[in-house]
Amino acid sequence: MNITIITVGKLKEKYLKEAINEYSKRLSKYCSLEIIEVADEKTPENASPKEEENIKLKEGLSILKHIKDNMYVIALDLKGKMISSEELAGFIEDRALSGNSHITFIIGGSLGISQEVLSRCHYKLCFSKMTFPHQLFRVMLLEQIYRSFRIIKGEPYHK
């Protein structure tokens, strides 16, 4: 199985890099993992809705350049469906069994994900109605993917 995470913005914090490295190492037992960072656009203070849409569009075009036809694309979106860890594991396993062995997760920037990217996605997933920093969210996503593989393999995991 191949997992790709396309995310807006560079990771700067050392403690988050260490967590991502740890989960990447753990995941190497279960899948091939690639994390792609695309540049985030600077958002001016008091940006108009039009300026915000243009920023999301630019970030979205950068994301779309990395999406290939054989990828099953999942957007992390506040309007997506909320599921349990067990349901995510089943979802990932179902994708693999149905021939979608390359799953790509999209983490947008601070303004969210452009409509162009959302239109390309097969599924929209919401972790919570709360807002999280997208850098921290990368760690949360990796942890849930790791947990999913542990569940799929019948290995112990924290409930």
Is position 71 within any domain?
yes
* Per-residue model confidence (pLDDT) at position 157: 80
Q: Is residue 58 part of a domain?
A: yes
Determine the average pLDDT of the residues in 88-109: 95
Tokens 């490295």 correspond to: 21
In the sheet with 32-38, reading across from the earlier edge strand, the strands are: 32-38, 2-8, 102-107, 72-81, 123-125
118 within some domain: yes
- Both tokens of 92, joined, read 């990932």
Whether 128 shows a pLDDT value over 70: the answer reads: yes
Give residue 33's domain range.
Answer: 2-152
Give residue 159's pLDDT.
Answer: 59
Confidence of residue 133 (pLDDT cuts 50, 70, 90): confident
pLDDT class of 134 with cuts at 50, 70, 90: confident
Q: Is the pTM of this model over 0.85?
A: yes
| Structural domains of the chain, count | 1
With pLDDT > 70 as the criterion, what percentage of the chain qualifies? 99
Q: Could you tell me if residue 97 is inside a domain? A: yes
Establish if 67 belongs to a structural domain.
yes
Mean pLDDT of 10-31: 96
**If we measure between CA atoms, which residue out of 85, 134, 69 comes closest to residue 106?**
134
Q: Answer yes or no: is pLDDT of 84 > 90.
A: yes
Q: Is the pLDDT of residue 8 over 90?
A: yes
- Strands 32-38 and 2-8 turn out to be parallel
Kindly indicate the confidence band of residue 131, based on its pLDDT and cuts at 50, 70 and 90: confident
- Better pLDDT: 61 or 157: 61
Indicate whether 158 belongs to any domain.
no
Instruction: Report the CATH number that the domain containing residue 90 is assigned in CATH.
Output: 3.40.1280.10
Q: Is 128 within the bounds of a domain? A: yes
